[in-house]
Amino acid sequence: MTPPNTSHTLSTQSTTGKATDITVSGVELYFLPVTTRVPLKFGSETLSSVTCARVRISVEDRSGRKAEGWGETPLSVPWVWPSTISHRRRDLALRDFCEQLASAWSEFPGYGHAMEIGHEFQENTLPTLLAGFNRDCAPEERMPLLAGLVCCSPFDIALHDAYGNLHDRPIYDCYNAEFMNHDLSHYLGESDADGVDFAGKYPIDYMTDNVPEELPVWHLVGGVDLLDPSEMNGSIPLDGEPFLLEDWINRDGLQNLKVKLRGNDAEWDFDRLVQVGLIAAKHGSYTLSADFNCTVLEPAYVNGVLDRLSAEHPDIYDSILYVEQPFPYDLEANKIDVSSVSSRKPLLMDESAHNWQLVRLGRELGWTGVALKTCKTQTGAILTLCWAKAHGMSIMVQDLTNPMLAQIPHVLLAANAGTLLGVESNAMQFYPKASLPEAQVHPGLYQRREGKLDLRSIDGSGFGYRVQEISRELGEPAVRFGSFVID
């Protein structure tokens, strides 16, 4: 395979390249705290609060025209950075790194398409910043790449939004030869042993032709969620929202349930899938996915749970659409042959899929699909989508419990990607009040009705946030660099 170009390729002159190219002229960073209504379990940790990083970026083109864009990502500490050090220390470190990124983005030189700028930042600037951040840290205190990507993502998302806003186009209309200086071979290489050739191809070539206005939605059955009234102990939040799984199914018309498992207790995992399957079956047709939480070390563990389901509860086994990330985050350090699992059910990478190169390695090890997340950057998600679809891999778009603005790029990625089935969306389960201002403008994105999300309120350029209509008080930014169109 011809290797992609990762050297500096952006034009530092305003007279070369396309007239549509942009450069960054200003960066603002805000931190928005959110508290969960019920705990959310990630692996061995339980989340009760999260800091959302919101970014505003100002850009200008070669003629001096200016626009700005917004991006947001929850800095979900247990998911991005599993560790024995305290949640508070990791949260503060993530915020600190976001501030360093804000400075670096504001100083990033050159003109280009949002994909080109985002790619070059991730290839050349982010690794240097992360290495410097970790230089004097003990091994257990070093921030992993996944955390670095999540910190980088609101800046990258805001850049894409600003690009679309400057050109008065939805951003998904800008991933083509009209706007991009380079085809996909610049990022992914020209051709490989599978006969895939990216020369002359652009991201638009791997998007769905018919973007849906509604998406089937997946509900997360968390590891500490209560399933039966007998499990209730009086500590239920009295906020008018559902609490038990059956109440959620009844109110939201749910048919698709993602089941969080332990990955280190096969009996519990089997029983959990059976319990959820039996509850769902009472309400008609349903689909499950099994998320083993990255804690499994041997394929035999997953195979044992699946084979027992197939023998004892074949209907529940048949309802499982795919298995998600049973094995550890670090794919390069855990090169496990997983083909025996994927011979039973589609097996999707999630936490391991930091970039398309790791997805390529995963495919060699037997993984058959990838769960995309905008929290690993819009640029990275698009490139991974293209590589995976070109190689026949299945696609899903998974949630990082995205509230507020973070929900909109998330669902747009799913709508344009052509997923196995809809999109996961669970912020309304864990912090429904956090998105009230955004829900006034986009009610169908923050409420699940008849088992779907309604995307029709998304309108206009960039990500179609309609941010000027949203009454969100942000307070003072944590840091601010450069100049903006609207102050």
Mean per-residue pLDDT, 167-180: 98
Q: How sure is the predictor about 233, in pLDDT bands with cuts at 50, 70 and 90?
A: confident
Structure confidence at residue 268 (pLDDT): 97
Residues 213 and 135 grouped into a single domain: no
Q: How sure is the predictor about 272, in pLDDT bands with cuts at 50, 70 and 90?
A: very high
Residues 48 and 120 grouped into a single domain: yes
- The yes-or-no verdict on residue 237 having pLDDT over 80 is no
Q: Does a structural domain hold residue 11?
A: no
CA distance to 23, 39, 51, 86, 430, per residue, from 35 (Å) = 36, 9, 9, 18, 8
Q: Does a structural domain hold residue 324?
A: yes
Q: What is the pLDDT of residues 89-145, one digit of tens each?
A: 999 999 999 999 999 999 999 999 999 999 999 999 999 999 999 998 888 889 999
Residues 172 and 267 grouped into a single domain: no
Q: How sure is the predictor about 45, in pLDDT bands with cuts at 50, 70 and 90?
A: confident
List alpha helices for 167-244, DSSP H.
Answer: 185-188
Q: How sure is the predictor about 40, in pLDDT bands with cuts at 50, 70 and 90?
A: confident
Q: Does a structural domain hold residue 299?
A: yes
CB contact at 8 A, 26 and 482: yes
- The yes-or-no verdict on residue 479 having pLDDT over 90 is yes
Report the SS3 class of residue 27. Answer: strand
Q: Does a structural domain hold residue 9?
A: no
Residues 97 and 222 grouped into a single domain: no
Residues 177 and 287 grouped into a single domain: no
Mean per-residue pLDDT, 337-346: 98
Q: Does a structural domain hold residue 203?
A: no
Residues 178 and 236 grouped into a single domain: no
Q: Does a structural domain hold residue 198?
A: no
Residues 371 and 446 grouped into a single domain: yes
Q: What is the pLDDT of residues 289-333, one digit of tens each?
A: 999 989 999 999 999 999 999 999 999 999 999 999 999 988 999
Q: How far apart are CA 439 and CA 13, in angstroms?
A: 42
For residue 275, what are the contacts with CB-CB under 8 A and spacing of at least 6?
Answer: 227, 228
Number of domains within the chain: 2
Residues 179 and 258 grouped into a single domain: no
Q: Does a structural domain hold residue 468?
A: no
Residue 332 burial class via C-beta count within 10 angstroms: exposed 0-12, middle 13-18, buried 19 and up: exposed
The C-alpha angle with vertex 109 and arms to 19 and 151, in degrees rounded to 5, equals 110
List the one residue out of 426, 413, 446 whose CA is nearest residue 171. 413
Tokens at 328, concatenated: 């550890």
CB contact at 8 A, 71 and 405: yes
Structure confidence at residue 41 (pLDDT): 75
Q: How far apart are CA 32 and CA 35, in angstroms?
A: 10
List the one residue out of 318, 390, 317, 381 whose CA is nearest residue 353. 381
Phi, psi of 28 (to 5 degrees): -125, 145
CB contact at 8 A, 279 and 310: no
How many CB atoms neighbour CB 436 within 10 A?
13
Residue 437 burial class via C-beta count within 10 angstroms: exposed 0-12, middle 13-18, buried 19 and up: middle
Tokens at 70, concatenated: 């917004």
Q: For 123, which DSSP code? A: I
Give pTM, 2 decimals: 0.95
Please list the residues that pair with 28 across neighbouring strands.
56, 480
Instruction: Kindly report the CATH number assigned to the domain that includes residue 166.
Output: 3.30.390.10
Residues 134 and 221 grouped into a single domain: no
Instruction: Kindly report the CATH number assigned to the domain that includes residue 424.
Output: 3.20.20.120
Residues 306 and 179 grouped into a single domain: no
Residues 215 and 155 grouped into a single domain: no
- The yes-or-no verdict on residue 8 having pLDDT over 60 is no
- The yes-or-no verdict on residue 185 having pLDDT over 60 is yes
Mean per-residue pLDDT, 141-166: 97
Pairing label, strands 22-42, 45-61: antiparallel
Provide the mean pLDDT of the chain.
94
Residues 245 and 343 grouped into a single domain: yes
- In the chain, the percentage of residues whose pLDDT exceeds 90 is 84
Q: Does a structural domain hold residue 163?
A: yes
Which range of residues forms the domain containing residue 361?
Answer: 208-459
Structure confidence at residue 7 (pLDDT): 52
